[in-house]
Amino acid sequence: MDGDFFVSDEVAADMSRLVFTGVMSYPPNEDAAVHFAEDVLPLVQRTHPHAEFWVVGKSPPDRVRALADRPGVHVTGGVPDIRPYVLGAGIFVCPLRYGAGVKNKLLAALSMKRAVVASAMSLEGLEFRHGEELLIADEPAQVAAHIARLMDDPALARRMGEAGHAAVKARYSWATSAQMLARVLATAADASSGRRPITAGV
């Protein structure tokens, strides 16, 4: 993850604004956007009627475009830069229900110090601590409860964003990945040559 690109500019986030990003023609993203707009957002709006859901990403199919007819839902289509949309939102949601691979959208949001509410599927292949670096839930009522908690406690959202940012920097930055790769390659080279790997600092 390029931490020099996805940075926070300390803008004042709107805690009533929820954002989800991605290529919307990708079926897991389409499903997530529709699921959240139909099953989760109405629960949030019962207690926070001004809550908005922003779907940001290119190639939204008709099913996603139609979500803009629902109260509080905005569908942008393709944008030159997703960062202003993520930074302007108080909470990044990642309600994926299927799909494989590391979710770079989630790492980008955490790198920008945004509070995150994500499904368990969204975290496949990633290591984050629930309740400290982000919040995890799958059932709509629990997702809505987590979102309401963050909306009602901006200080908690800021602390969680800071913790998530620190976790990405420590575990998933390009510099960290390069160091890990160098260690793996060195170990593999030593093993193939019959030498014991040299461990720095021992």
Overall number of domains in the chain: 2
pLDDT tens profile 9-62: 556 689 999 999 999 999 999 999 999 999 999 999 999 999 999 999 999 999
Give the ranges where 12-68 is alpha helix by DSSP (H).
27-35, 41-47, 62-65
User: Is residue 188 classed exposed, middle or buried when 0-12, 13-18 and 19+ CB atoms within 10 A define those classes?
Assistant: exposed
Residues 136, 197, single domain; the answer is: no
Residues 126, 178, single domain; the answer is: no
Mean of pLDDT values over 95-113: 88
Residue 195 lies in a domain: yes
Query: Residue 112's pLDDT band (boundaries 50, 70, 90)?
Result: very high
Query: Residue 83's pLDDT band (boundaries 50, 70, 90)?
Result: very high
Residues 137, 105, single domain; the answer is: yes
What string of DSSP letters covers 64-116? HHGGGGSTTEEEEES-S-SHHHHHHEEEEEE---S--S--HHHHHHHHTT-EE
Q: Which range marks the domain in which residue 179 is found?
A: 173-202
Residues 187, 143, single domain; the answer is: no
Mean pLDDT of the residues in the chain: 85
Query: Residue 125's pLDDT band (boundaries 50, 70, 90)?
Result: confident
pTM of the full structure: 0.81
Residues 102, 165, single domain; the answer is: yes
Phi, psi of 57 (to 5 degrees): 165, 155
Residue 3 lies in a domain: no
pLDDT surpasses 50 at 150? yes
pLDDT surpasses 80 at 193? no
pLDDT surpasses 70 at 180? no
Give the rounded percent of residues in the chain with a pLDDT score beyond 70: 78
Using alpha carbons, select from 162, 127, 143 the residue that is nearest to residue 93. Answer: 143
How far is the C-alpha of 127 from the C-alpha of 136, rounded, in Å? Answer: 12
Residue 131 lies in a domain: yes
Residue 106 lies in a domain: yes
Instruction: Write the single-letter amino acid at 191.
Output: A
Mean of pLDDT values over 160-188: 67
CATH of the domain at 55: 3.40.50.2000
